[in-house]
Amino acid sequence: MTTRSGISARSYPLSNALKPMVATAVEYSATKGDAQSVIDTIDDFASHYHRIMIIGDDKGGKIDKVLKEHKPKIMYELGCFVGYSAVRFGAIIREWGGKFYSFEVDEQSVEVSRKIVEHAGLSDTVEIIHGGFDSAIKPFLENHPDHTGKVDAVFIDHWKDLYVPDMQLIESLNLLHPGSVVLADNVIRPGAPEYIEYMDSQSDKYTSEMLEYKPAGSSEVVDAVLVNILKQ
Ligand SMILES: C[S@@+](CC[C@H](N)C(=O)[O-])C[C@H]1O[C@@H](n2cnc3c(N)ncnc32)[C@H](O)[C@@H]1O
């Protein structure tokens, strides 16, 4: 959609106005140094004030369980937004000394997320890298050559048309090892059919499971996180 001023919804989404409001809500309502309090404040904002594009408590809780089972030491995220998932998953993997690296293309998101991560007391665990994943990953790896073949988990949650090319980039850079977990959000809504198809076409290489999301009181599956594990 393009407005009369020529600004498209994608170039100036409502979320640009909402991001600083989330940071303010966290600053005033969440207990400093308490990641759970930060998560609760952002969940509250999303359910009582305005919907925002975060993983949320239902799908987030399902991913928490996967992380507790696999205990990733190095985890990447593609798409940070306001840092909700970075705080949520960073707080979990900190328990076993894990490190969480979140790639985010939007400068305002990077600024807001860094404030929120700091408020949650997770600056030692969560690093936010400014840049589109496809252009930021190579310079990043030059400073972290030990990551090749060592990334234990990846959370893909940026723009849906980038899921396949960025997954192919992850594969071509040999970042994963047998047992690495790749989680992709929103594969049903807004939907990433090419990504589902791409991962399905590699069923000899990856195990596959859909973590389905049904809103409370409904039997309809409205979204899912696709979980693939690189086989031995
Ligand atoms: C759905 S939001 C992420 C939500 C976040 N993971 C959470 O659950 O709290 C998608 C984010 O991906 C970012 N993004 C889009 N293209 C990107 C790219 N190529 N690399 C990194 N981030 C990107 C957007 O700016 C946006 O902030």
d(CA 36, CA 53): 19
Position 232 scores a pLDDT of 84
Calculate mean pLDDT across residues 213-224: 87
Q: What is the mean pLDDT of residues 94-121?
A: 98
Which range marks the domain in which residue 217 is found?
54-230
pLDDT at 159 over 80: yes
157 is catalytic: yes
User: Average pLDDT, whole number, for the chain?
Assistant: 93
pLDDT in tens, 124-143: 999 999 999 999 999 999 99
Average of per-residue pLDDT across 78-105: 98
Among residues of the chain, what percentage have pLDDT more than 90? 88
pLDDT(57) > 80: yes
Domain presence at residue 11: no
Total domains in the chain come to 1
In this prediction, residue 9 has a pLDDT band, given cuts at 50, 70 and 90, of very low
Catalytic option among 40, 58, 64, 212? 212
Return the amino acid letter for 218.
Answer: S
pLDDT of residue 174: 97
Of the candidates 160, 166, 223, 228, the residue annotated as catalytic is 160
Q: For ligand 1, pick from 117, 154, 159, 225 the residue to mutate: most ligand atoms within 8 Å of CB.
A: 159
CATH code (residue 207): 3.40.50.150
Q: State residue 12's pLDDT score.
A: 55
CA gap 116, 30 in Å, rounded: 10
The whole-number pLDDT of residue 218 equals 85
70: in domain = yes
More confident residue, 213 or 26: 26
What is the band of 8 on the pLDDT scale with cuts at 50, 70, 90? very low
Kindly state whether residue 41 falls inside one of the protein's structural domains.
no
Tokens 């190579």 correspond to 138
Classify residue 106: in a domain, yes or no: yes
Q: Where does residue 40 rank: exposed (0-12), middle (13-18), buried (19+ CB within 10 A)?
A: middle
Give the whole-angstrom CA distance, residue 101 versus residue 218: 35
Q: What is the reported pLDDT for 28?
A: 97
Is 6 part of any domain?
no
Region for 39 from its dihedrals, namely left if φ exceeds 0, alpha if ψ lies in -120 to 50, beta otherwise:
alpha
Residue 146, in any domain of the structure: yes
161 has a pLDDT exceeding 90:
yes
**Is 44 domain-assigned?**
no
